[in-house]
Amino acid sequence: MQEQTRNAAPTVAIIGFGEVGPILAKALSGQGCPVGIHDIKLENPATREQIVKRAENSGARVAASLADCLAGAELVFSAVTASQAGAVAQDAAPLMAPGQTFIDLNSVSPKVKQQNSVLIQRHGADYVESAVMAPVPPQGIRVPMLLGGGTARAISAKLNALGMRTEAVADDIGLASAIKLCRSIMIKGMEAMCVQSMLAARHFGVDDRVLASMAASFPSVGWDDGYEAYLIGRVAEHGQRRSEEMREAAAMLGEIGMNPGLATAIADIQEAVARKGASLHDELDPKGRLPQWRTLLTGTDAG
């Protein structure tokens, strides 16, 4: 790989150009980083134009292939779906070399991150796992990220110099992802509980009374100011991705001998509401709340 001068902005490759990829590309290209992108959807004529337009709007170069995208890149971000994280690491590994760092942003189990690290490091490149701890919009590259790996501290300093907000938390791979997924069981679980509680309350026609009781019990949470609409709105907008993350949490629990049933149930509820809410995304207000949550839950199979 061509050696970077000390003060030069690093060359960046981004694999996966859905929601997170364009945000990274725009911010990093704005910092002077040459950015190349690759997405499997570029191979499909039906989706290629959309990806190309996103790249143009983000100041990124559309690479001719994965190999072209990775060639000469100091920092390689993997930002694909959870189901594709392992395949991307496997495809990228033989194309990488010493001096390159593969930064795995994907929400997968600690075991998958460990497997990915073995693939990447086998060919001499460095591997850093990243756990993204909040929704990327609206914070963009300032979203908090936890990093893990032998070079995590050095990479954290490099990324923070580019405007990101990262923290190295472990030399071992898997711990950053464990922090994220354990937290997600609580956050996504609360959303799922809200969905089921409100579904049952709507069935009996007592949702207003239940919400009033919640507001009295937890006055600082916001149950008297549409908090249930916010929670259900988040599921409607991001439930598919959240469900995939919770299935990774279930895998993590199973790997350590715990019952994964709760995480699996949360994933099922998230997915069901996401299916029902897919046509209502445009009705979310700027805070992500869906005031029409009663309509949204009508007919859902999340019960």
pLDDT in tens, 174-207: 999 999 999 999 999 999 999 999 999 999 999 9
Q: 248 and 181 in contact (C-beta within 8 Å)?
A: yes
User: Strands across the sheet with 35-38, in order?
Assistant: 61-62, 35-38, 12-15, 75-78, 101-104, 126-132, 144-148, 165-170
Q: Which CATH number fits domain 177-297: 1.10.1040.10, 2.30.130.10, 3.90.550.10, 1.10.3720.10?
A: 1.10.1040.10
Task: Show me where the domains of the chain are located.
Answer: 12-172, 177-297
Q: What is the pTM of this model?
A: 0.87
Q: 215 and 166 in contact (C-beta within 8 Å)?
A: no
Fold equal for 12-172 and 177-297 = no
Whether 277 has a pLDDT exceeding 50, the answer reads yes
Query: Which is it for strands 61-62 and 75-78: parallel, antiparallel or unpaired?
Result: unpaired
12-172 in CATH: which number? 3.40.50.720
AA identity, residue 81: T
Residue 179's SS3 state is helix
* pLDDT at residue 248 in the model: 96
pLDDT in tens, 14-71: 999 998 999 999 999 999 999 999 999 999 999 999 999 999 999 999 999 999 999 9
Q: 187 and 245 in contact (C-beta within 8 Å)?
A: no
- Written as six digits, the tokens of 249 are 């949490």
> Could you write out the three-class secondary structure of 103-172?
EECCCCCHHHHHHHHHHHHCCCCEEEEEEECCCHHHHHHHCEEEEECCCHHHHHHHHHHCCCEEEEEECC
Q: How far apart are CA 261 and CA 250, in angstroms?
A: 7
